[in-house]
Amino acid sequence: MFSRAVAVCSRFSVYSYTAIPRIIPRAVAPPSQNSLRHFGWTRPCRSPAVLAHAPTQADIEADEEFSDSELLPAEEAKLNITDAAQQLRNISVREQDEDVSLRVLVESGGCHGYQYKLELTSKRHHFVRPPTTPGRVGVVVDPISLSLCDQGSTIDFATELIGSSFRVQNNPQATGKGCGCGVSWDLKARTITSAELITPHDRTTLARGAIRSLTTTMPTVPRTSPATLNPVPEHYIHTTAGQFVDAAGRVILLRGVNLAGSTKAPVDRPTQYQDVWDVAEAGGESFVGRPLNLDDGSADIHLARLRAWGFNCLRFIFTWEALEHEGPYVGKYDYEYIQYTIRVLRRCKDFGFRVFMDPHQDVWSRFTGGSGAPFWTLPACGLNPRHITATHAALLHFEQPDPSAFPAMVWSTNYARFASQTIWTLFFAGRDYAPRCVIDGVNIQDWLQRHYINACGVLADAIRDAGDLYDSCIIGWDSINEPGEGYLGLHDLNVIPPHQSLKKTTCPTPAQGIRLASGIAQTVENWAFGALGPKRDGYVTIDPAGRTIWANPDTEEDVGDGTGDRIHKRWGWRRAASWPLGKCIWALHGVWAGPDVTDTKSGDIPILKPDYFERPPFDPSRHVVFVADYWRPHFRDYIARIRPSHPESIFFVQPPVFVQPPPLEDEDLCGRGAYSSHYYDGLTLMTRHWNWFNADALGLLRGKYSSVLGALRIGERAIRNSLRDQLGMLKSDALEILGQYPTLIGEIGVPFDMDAKRSYGLDGNSKYVGDYTDQTRALDCSLNGADGNNVINWTLWTYAPDNTHTWGDGWNLEDLALWSMDDANRDRGTQEFQIESSSANLLNGENQDSRNRSESTLGTLRGPAGPADAQQPRPQMDMSLKPTCASPDPASPVGISADKLYDFVVVGARGIGALARPWPVATVGTPTYIDFNIAKATFELKIKVTGSDRAWGGKAPIRSSLSDLGEDDEELSTEIYIPLVHYAADSAFDGESLPNCEDAPGLPKVTEEPPRYRDDDDSTVVGHLRQDSKSSADSAPAVKRRRATTTTLRRQRADTTNTLIPILPIPSSEPTATSASAAASPTTLPIPLSAQSIMGTLVESDMLALDVQVSEGKWELDGQVLRWWYDVPGEGEPEKELTIKVQRRGGPIKGVLRGFGAISPASAAREGGRRFWDVLCPNGGCVVA
SS3 sequence of 700-737 = HHCCCCCCHHHHEEEEHHHHHHHHHHHHHHHHHHHHHH
1095-1117 b/e with 16+ CB inside 10 Å = b?
bbbbbbbbbbbbbbbbbbbbbbb
Identify the bridge partners of residue 795 per DSSP, sorted by sequence position: 256
Q: What average pLDDT does the segment 1103-1124 reach?
A: 93
**Structural domain 920-961+970-992+1093-1144, CATH architecture:** Sandwich (2.60)
What integer pLDDT is reported at residue 803 of this predicted model?
95
* Helices marked H in 382-443: 418-433
Question: Regarding predicted confidence, which is higher, 306 or 181?
Answer: 306
CA-based end-to-end distance of the chain? 27
pLDDT in tens, 1119-1155: 899 999 999 998 889 999 999 999 999 999 988 888 7
Contacts with 1172 (C-beta within 8 Å, 6 or more apart), sequence order: 902, 903, 906, 907, 1156
DSSP 405: G
* Dihedral of the alpha carbons of 968, 926, 175, 104, in degrees to the nearest 10: 160
Residues 784, 932: contact at Cβ < 8 Å? Answer: yes
Closest CA to 408 of 542, 291, 293, 502: 502
The angle at the Cα of 213, spanning 207 to 215, to the nearest 5 degrees, equals 105
Residues 192, 31: contact at Cβ < 8 Å? Answer: yes
Q: Rounded to whole angstroms, how far apart are CA atoms 973 and 8?
A: 42
pLDDT tier, 1102 (very low <50, low <70, confident <90, very high otherwise):
confident
* Helices marked H in 351-443: 377-380, 418-433
Residues 818, 949: contact at Cβ < 8 Å? Answer: no
Q: What average pLDDT does the segment 1014-1040 reach?
A: 45
Least confident range of 44-53, 125-134, 633-642:
44-53
Res. 59: pLDDT tops 80: no
Q: Rounded to whole angstroms, how far apart are CA atoms 736 and 191?
A: 27
Residues 162, 913: contact at Cβ < 8 Å? Answer: no
* Helices marked H in 72-161: 88-94, 143-149
Q: Rounded to whole angstroms, how far apart are CA atoms 495 and 349?
A: 51
pLDDT in tens, 738-768: 999 999 999 999 999 999 999 998 877 888 9
Q: Rounded to whole angstroms, how far apart are CA atoms 224 and 232?
A: 5
Radius of gyration of the chain (CA): 30
Q: Rounded to whole angstroms, how far apart are CA atoms 333 and 326?
A: 7
| Count of other CB atoms within 10 angstroms of residue 288 | 18
C-alpha distances out from residue 141 to 145, 147, 994, Å? 6, 10, 61
pLDDT tier, 495 (very low <50, low <70, confident <90, very high otherwise):
very high
pLDDT in tens, 68-100: 444 445 455 556 666 655 555 455 444 445 566
Q: Rounded to whole angstroms, how far apart are CA atoms 4 and 498?
A: 12
What integer pLDDT is reported at residue 826 of this predicted model?
73
What integer pLDDT is reported at residue 872 of this predicted model?
45
Question: Regarding predicted confidence, which is higher, 990 or 715?
Answer: 715
Closest CA to 750 of 790, 722, 702, 784: 784
pLDDT in tens, 177-203: 555 445 566 665 443 333 333 232 333
Res. 530: pLDDT tops 90: no
Q: Which of 4-13, 119-128, 972-981 has the highest mean pLDDT?
A: 972-981
pLDDT tier, 340 (very low <50, low <70, confident <90, very high otherwise):
very high
Res. 1033: pLDDT tops 80: no
Res. 53: pLDDT tops 60: no
E strand or H helix at 139, and its extent? Answer: strand 138-141
Closest CA to 308 of 1078, 962, 841, 980: 980
What integer pLDDT is reported at residue 1036 of this predicted model?
38
- Helices vs strands, H then E, count in the chain: 32, 42
Q: Rounded to whole angstroms, how far apart are CA atoms 225 and 1?
A: 33
Contacts with 1004 (C-beta within 8 Å, 6 or more apart), sequence order: 962, 1054, 1055, 1056, 1058, 1087
What integer pLDDT is reported at residue 892 of this predicted model?
38
Q: Rounded to whole angstroms, how far apart are CA atoms 1075 and 515?
A: 67
Residues 263, 287: contact at Cβ < 8 Å? Answer: yes
CB burial of residue 220 (10 Å; 0-12, 13-18, 19+)? exposed
E strand or H helix at 336, and its extent? Answer: helix 335-350
Q: What average pLDDT does the segment 341-370 reach?
A: 97
Which backbone phi and psi does 355 adopt, to 5 degrees?
-130, 140
For the chain, the residue count is: 1185
Query: Active site residue: 321, 324, 482, 716, which one?
Result: 482
* Dihedral of the alpha carbons of 265, 266, 270, 273, in degrees to the nearest 10: -120
Q: What average pLDDT does the segment 406-411 reach?
A: 93
Res. 888: pLDDT tops 50: no
pLDDT in tens, 693-710: 999 999 888 888 888 888
Closest CA to 533 of 775, 413, 695: 695
Q: Rounded to whole angstroms, how far apart are CA atoms 64 and 70?
A: 13
Q: Rounded to whole angstroms, how far apart are CA atoms 980 and 984?
A: 5
C-alpha distances out from residue 825 to 811, 1020, 1104, 1160, 1176, Å? 21, 47, 27, 15, 10
Residue 1084, classed as helix, strand or coil, is coil
| Count of other CB atoms within 10 angstroms of residue 1168 | 11
Q: Rounded to whole angstroms, how far apart are CA atoms 131 and 139?
A: 8
Residue 841, classed as helix, strand or coil, is helix
Whether 482 sits among the annotated catalytic residues: the reply is yes
Whether 846 sits among the annotated catalytic residues: the reply is no
Model pTM? 0.76
Q: Rounded to whole angstroms, how far apart are CA atoms 45 and 69?
A: 10
Q: Rounded to whole angstroms, how far apart are CA atoms 1157 and 1151?
A: 9
DSSP 1093: -
Which backbone phi and psi does 443 adopt, to 5 degrees?
-65, 150
Q: What average pLDDT does the segment 571-589 reach?
A: 97
pLDDT tier, 67 (very low <50, low <70, confident <90, very high otherwise):
very low
Query: Active site residue: 747, 971, 1100, 1116, which one?
Result: 747
**Structural domain 254-673, CATH architecture:** Alpha-Beta Barrel (3.20)
The angle at the Cα of 1111, spanning 1110 to 1115, to the nearest 5 degrees, equals 35
Q: Rounded to whole angstroms, how far apart are CA atoms 1185 and 894?
A: 13
Identify the bridge partners of residue 744 per DSSP, sorted by sequence position: 793
Least confident range of 250-259, 952-961, 1100-1109:
952-961
* Dihedral of the alpha carbons of 756, 762, 768, 772, in degrees to the nearest 10: 60
Instruction: Provide CATH code, domain 57-187.
Output: 2.60.300.12
Domain-wise residue ranges, the chain: 57-187, 254-673, 676-830+896-916, 920-961+970-992+1093-1144
C-alpha distances out from residue 892 to 151, 945, 1006, 1067, 1153, Å? 69, 41, 19, 11, 36
Percentage of the chain beyond pLDDT 90 is: 52
Closest CA to 978 of 1132, 801, 1110, 1108: 1108
Res. 382: pLDDT tops 80: yes
What integer pLDDT is reported at residue 128 of this predicted model?
42
Q: What average pLDDT does the segment 330-346 reach?
A: 96
Q: Rounded to whole angstroms, how far apart are CA atoms 1005 and 1055?
A: 5
Mean pLDDT for the chain overall:
74
